[in-house]
Amino acid sequence: MTLMLGRDRTMALLETGLKCSRVEQTEILAVGQHAYLTRYSENYIHQNVGERDTRITVRAVTGKRIGVASTNQFEEGALRETVEQACEMSRLAPERPDFRSLPGPEPIPDVGMGISRATLECPADLRAAYVERVVSMARDKGVAAAGALTTGSLELGVANSLGVRAYGMTSRADLSCVAMSPDSSGFGQESSFDVSKVDPTRVAEKAVSKCLASRNPVTIPPGEYDVVLEPPAIGDMLLYLAFLGFTAESYQEGRSFMSGKLGQKIAGDNITIWDDGLDPAGFPMPFDFEGVPKRKVTLIENGVARGVVYDSLSAGREARKSTGHAVAQEGFVGSMPINLMMAGGTSSIAEMIASTGKGILVTRFHYVNPVHPVKTIITGMTRDGTFLIEDGKLATGLTNLRFTESILGALSRVELISSEREVRAGMLSMVCPAVKVRGFTFTGTTKS
């Protein structure tokens, strides 16, 4: 399996594109992705697919007008045409009064990106072997397993007319499993840049054991319960905090829960959340989609709102520097914390359960939607392992419940935090502990 374009070809391509431009400033971004997927259901593999694509996006600047065009063709003629389209659009686009400049060059930290040749070269039969281990364990226990193993890589190259030159590659592997019986289910997942560090036995054991333990679930009335939220559930909450208010755009527009609150208490003293693209505990990426070095940004420190993340455009509005959090110019535009981390504590999930007289253990959420962004109220349902806690022990499985709760409200009532944290891959990468929350609001029950 070949690596995508590679550093030399990528950067040569970007240099060629820059030479074609005739406007004041130009930026060219190459994003290459390889993704290979082995999906299984009912204990059988039913899909094995792969995709390779590299998209080149040109951002051209004329005065305060910005034009964007893209292509996935590498021939010089196609590249030249794309640059010309962006340049023409930059002459016709409305002015952006808050635009100052594309970013200039800065030294990029030499921390590397998480790359594993085992992941880059992972063959289909090895993915199948991982899945076979999972489904055989499920089959032995009389339950059905479904999920997927994905392996892939991201290649990123950025160059602009002000001298920015950045290139990097990272790999990622993710194995998920939902084990199902007629009246219960359980979830397990592991993610790493190195597929050899993903353990299918551990994933299957977690999913199958939760499925078996939650059979014959009972229903309890809605209300406020102490809850133990495992890392996947906390990851969902962090994801929504990122979209609802950790970006400079939402902060500047007054629609963020951080707007007007910097320096003020918004969560419990034991809550610290930050973004750090250089931390090897997650999925390192030393620069953003504008070629700006990643900077660690403390978002919430000991419950106090400390900051948001910036790209060059949002930073220009406040006459400050980008924090290195620009995302791709197509689709979602702006900044985003894509390497979120939450500080751990000194407890364990077992200790959280033992300290609970009556409560609920939640493995993860689904169908989550925002209700009030500024108040960080979200609603959704529990899924794949919901348990009643009585007298410090898991008593029985529960039918799933609907919740409606403020994320920051919940994070203001955290009693315990686990020392162990899990890496969660996805749209954003996250490193999350488990937490025990006092008085979490459940508003209804479901039929399953």
Question: Residues 133, 200: contact at Cβ < 8 Å?
Answer: yes
Same domain, 166 and 245: no
Write out the residue range of the structural domain in which residue 332 sits.
217-448
Same domain, 52 and 92: yes
Determine the pLDDT at residue 331.
45
Determine the pLDDT at residue 344.
98
Give per-residue burial for 245-278: e unless 16+ CB within 10 Å, then b: bbbbbbbbeeebbbbebeeeebbbebbbbbbbbb
Determine the pLDDT at residue 448.
60
Residue after which a domain boundary falls, among 143, 163, 197: 197
Same domain, 235 and 123: no
Task: Quote the tokens at residue 199.
Answer: 């353990």
Q: Is residue 210 part of a domain?
A: no
Same domain, 225 and 182: no
Residue after which a domain boundary falls, among 152, 167, 197: 197
Q: Is residue 141 part of a domain?
A: yes
Q: Cα-Cα-Cα-Cα dihedral of 363, 367, 373, 376, to 10°?
A: -20
Same domain, 111 and 174: yes
Determine the pLDDT at residue 146.
98
Same domain, 183 and 323: no
Same domain, 76 and 155: yes
CATH assignment at residue 71: 3.30.2290.10
- C-beta neighbour count of 125 within 10 angstroms: 10
Give per-residue burial for 144-171: e unless 16+ CB within 10 Å, then b: bbbbbbbbbbbbbbbbbbeebebbbbbb
Question: Residues 166, 158: contact at Cβ < 8 Å?
Answer: yes
Same domain, 285 and 137: no
Same domain, 413 and 273: yes
Q: Is residue 264 part of a domain?
A: yes
Q: Is residue 1 part of a domain?
A: no
Same domain, 294 and 379: yes
d(CA 112, CA 381): 39
Same domain, 341 and 237: yes
| pLDDT, mean of each 10-residue run, the chain (448 residues) | 76 95 96 95 96 93 95 90 96 93 93 85 96 98 98 95 95 97 97 96 98 97 97 96 95 96 98 95 92 97 98 93 86 81 98 98 97 97 98 97 98 98 88 98 86
Determine the pLDDT at residue 363.
98
Determine the pLDDT at residue 1.
44
Same domain, 191 and 244: no
- C-beta neighbour count of 221 within 10 angstroms: 8
Q: Is residue 202 part of a domain?
A: no
Task: Quote the tokens at residue 45.
Answer: 């593999």
Residue after which a domain boundary falls, among 146, 169, 197: 197
Q: How many domains does the chain have?
A: 2
d(CA 389, CA 400): 14
